[in-house]
C-alpha cells in the first residue's frame, strides 16, 4: 500500500461530506468512477455529493445514477475528489465561476490515469495519476482493494463500465493483463457484463432525426494523410440542435475508426464566441491522441483525448494546425 493511498483513506474517513467532481467533458470512465465512489463513500459512513458543471450527455444515461449528478456546486462539503482529470483546463467552468476557490480551500484528492498534462491542479492535497492504469475506474478499484473499502456488486458494475469505456470494450492496448484479471474478479463477484452491454445498447438507440444527421456528418467527413485522418466540423447551430439528443462526437467517431485505413478520428466543434474544441479518438495502432491534444494544451490518453482553443486564431487556422500536427504524428506510427 502506498503512502498516498493511506492519506486518501484518512481524508475520506475524516470527512463528513465529500464532493465528487467530474470534468467539463464527462464520459463513461468519469461517470462510472464518480458513481462507484459515491457508493463506497456512502458505505464508509460519509455523505457523497456528485457534481459536474455540464449536463451528463444522453448516451451515458445507461449508467444508473447519472441523474444524481448536480450542475450546481454545493456550498457545504468537507473535502473533494476530482476524477478522471488532473488539469484545470478541463474544469474551466469551475475556474470561471470561482468555484475552484471552494475546492482549493479544502482537502482535495485528484484521481486520474492520463499522461502528463499542462495546467495541473496544484492545490490538490493528494494527486494519484497513474498512466499505467487503463482507466480511472481501474485505479479506484486498486485503491479500494488495497484499503479494504467496501465494494458492492453495483459499485463494481460502475467500475466495469468505467473500464469498458476507456478501453473501447477491452479492444485497445490500455487494457493490460491486470485489467483482464480485475474484470474477471468483478464477474466472479456477480457483475453481469452482458447485461451492462444490453443496457448500453438500449440507451444508445437514436431518434430518426439523429440517424439522418449522422448521415450528414458522414457525407461531410474529410480525409487527410492518405486516408489515415478523418475529420468533421460541427458549427454552433448543430451543437444547439442535436447535442441535447446525442453528442455529435460519439455519434460519428466509431464509424470514422471503422473506416478502412483511418487511424485518427477528430470532431471539431466551433462555438459562436470563437473557441474551438477537439475530440480525438484513435485506433489501437495509432496511439497518438494524447500527443495531439497536448499540442493544443489539452490532454487525455493514447486513444481518447480532447482540447479547447480560446484565442484570436480563426477556425481555419486551428483546423490546419490540427491537420499538420496530426500528419506529423501519423508519419511516425501505424504505417
Domain shared by 258 and 165, yes or no = no
Domain count, the chain: 2
Q: What pLDDT does residue 334 have?
A: 60
**165 within a domain of the structure (yes/no):** yes
State the Cα angle at 63 between 58 and 68, rounded to 5°: 85
Q: What pLDDT does residue 31 have?
A: 98
Domain shared by 141 and 230, yes or no = no
Domain range for residue 254?
A: 208-330
Last residue of a domain, one of 151, 172, 201: 201
Q: What pLDDT does residue 16 have?
A: 96
* CATH code, 222: 3.10.310.30
Strand bridging mode 304-309 / 299-301: antiparallel
**335 within a domain of the structure (yes/no):** no
Q: Rounded to an integer, what distance in angstroms lies between the CA atom of residue 42 and that of residue 46?
A: 5
* CATH code, 62: 3.90.1640.10
Contact call for residues 33 and 66 (beta carbons, < 8 A): no
Domain shared by 147 and 103, yes or no = yes
User: Which of 178, 40, 25, 179 minimizes the C-alpha distance to 109?
Assistant: 40
**216 within a domain of the structure (yes/no):** yes
Q: What pLDDT does residue 143 have?
A: 97
Q: What pLDDT does residue 266 have?
A: 98
**279 within a domain of the structure (yes/no):** yes
Domain shared by 177 and 54, yes or no = yes
Domain shared by 140 and 214, yes or no = no
User: Which of 196, 214, 172 minimizes the C-alpha distance to 300?
Assistant: 172
Last residue of a domain, one of 158, 174, 201: 201
Task: Output the nine-digit C-alpha cell for 299.
Answer: 490532454
Per-residue pLDDT of the chain (335 residues; tens, 9 = 90+): 688 999 999 999 999 999 999 999 899 999 999 999 999 999 999 999 999 999 998 889 999 999 999 999 998 999 999 999 988 888 989 998 989 999 999 999 999 998 766 678 999 999 999 989 999 999 999 999 999 999 999 999 999 999 998 888 888 888 999 999 999 999 999 999 999 988 888 877 888 999 999 999 999 999 999 999 999 999 999 999 998 888 899 899 999 999 999 999 999 999 999 999 999 999 988 989 989 998 998 888 888 888 989 888 999 999 999 999 999 999 988 65
Q: What pLDDT does residue 335 have?
A: 56
Domain shared by 123 and 219, yes or no = no
Amino acid at each position: 500500500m502506498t503512502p498516498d493511498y493511506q492519506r486518501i483513506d484518512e481524508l475520506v474517513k475524516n470527512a463528513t461530506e465529500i464532493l465528487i467532481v467530474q470534468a467539463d467533458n464527462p464520459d463513461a470512465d468519469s461517470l462510472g468512477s464518480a458513481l462507484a465512489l459515491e457508493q463506497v463513500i456512502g458505505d464508509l459512513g460519509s455523505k457523497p455529493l456528485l457534481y459536474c458543471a455540464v449536463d451528463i450527455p444522453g448516451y451515458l444515461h445507461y449508467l444508473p445514477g447519472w441523474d444524481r449528478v448536480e450542475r450546481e456546486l454545493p456550498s457545504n462539503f468537507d473535502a473533494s475528489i476530482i476524477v478522471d482529470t488532473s488539469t484545470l483546463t478541463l474544469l474551466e467552468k469551475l475556474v470561471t465561476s470561482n468555484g475552484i476557490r471552494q475546492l482549493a480551500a479544502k482537502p482535495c484528492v485528484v484521481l486520474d490515469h492520463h499522461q502528463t498534462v499542462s495546467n495541473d491542479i496544484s492545490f490538490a492535497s493528494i494527486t494519484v495519476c497513474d498512466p499505467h492504469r487503463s482507466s480511472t475506474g481501474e485505479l479506484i478499484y486498486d485503491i479500494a482493494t488495497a484499503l479494504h473499502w467496501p465494494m458492492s456488486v453495483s459499485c463494481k458494475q460502475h467500475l466495469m463500465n468505467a473500464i469498458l469505456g476507456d478501453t473501447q470494450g477491452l479492444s485497445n492496448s490500455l487494457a493490460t493483463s491486470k485489467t483482464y484479471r480485475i474484470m474477471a474478479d468483478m464477474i466472479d463477484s456477480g457483475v453481469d457484463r452482458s447485461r451492462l452491454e444490453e443496457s448500453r445498447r438500449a440507451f444508445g438507440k437514436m431518434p430518426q432525426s439523429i440517424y439522418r444527421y449522422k448521415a450528414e456528418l458522414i457525407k461531410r467527413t474529410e480525409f487527410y494523410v492518405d486516408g489515415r485522418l478523418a475529420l468533421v466540423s460541427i458549427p454552433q447551430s448543430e451543437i444547439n440542435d442535436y447535442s441535447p439528443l446525442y453528442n455529435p462526437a460519439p455519434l460519428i467517431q466509431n464509424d470514422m475508426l471503422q473506416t478502412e485505413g483511418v487511424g485518427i478520428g477528430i470532431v471539431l466543434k466551433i462555438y459562436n464566441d470563437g473557441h474551438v474544441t477537439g475530440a480525438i479518438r484513435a485506433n489501437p495502432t495509432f496511439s497518438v491522441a494524447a500527443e495531439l491534444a497536448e499540442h493544443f494544451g489539452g490532454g487525455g490518453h493514447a486513444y481518447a483525448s480532447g482540447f479547447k482553443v480560446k484565442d484570436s486564431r480563426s477556425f481555419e487556422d486551428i483546423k490546419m494546425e490540427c491537420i499538420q500536427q496530426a500528419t506529423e504524428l501519423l508519419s511516425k506510427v501505424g504505417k
